[in-house]
Amino acid sequence: MKAEGREEENEEEEEEEEEEEKEEEEEEEEEEEEEEEEEEEEEEKEKEEEEEEEKEEEEEEEKEEKED
């Protein structure tokens, strides 16, 4: 009987460990996804800023051309 009880305990411990590992993996995946999203947002911001700068430059050039 004692052996059976120990076996059950071991199985429960293993299951708990597996559960914890699974949770950790899920957390890591979530973190990675969040990081990727942040990077994408950052890239999008940079792209928008560049486009804005280009627009401003074009407007400046147009102004200069008109002045000439």
Which pTM value belongs to this model?
Answer: 0.59
Instruction: Pull the structure tokens for residue 1.
Output: 């009987």
Instruction: Pull the structure tokens for residue 48.
Output: 């928008």
pLDDT in tens, 59-68: 999 989 888 7
CB contact set of 23 (below 8 Å; sequence gap of 6+)? none
Instruction: Pull the structure tokens for residue 41.
Output: 């947002």
Instruction: Pull the structure tokens for residue 33.
Output: 């996804």
Is 3 a residue whose pLDDT tops 80?
no
Pick from 7-11, 24-28, 44-48, 54-58: least confident: 7-11
Phi-psi bin for 54: left (phi > 0), alpha (psi -120 to 50), beta? Answer: alpha
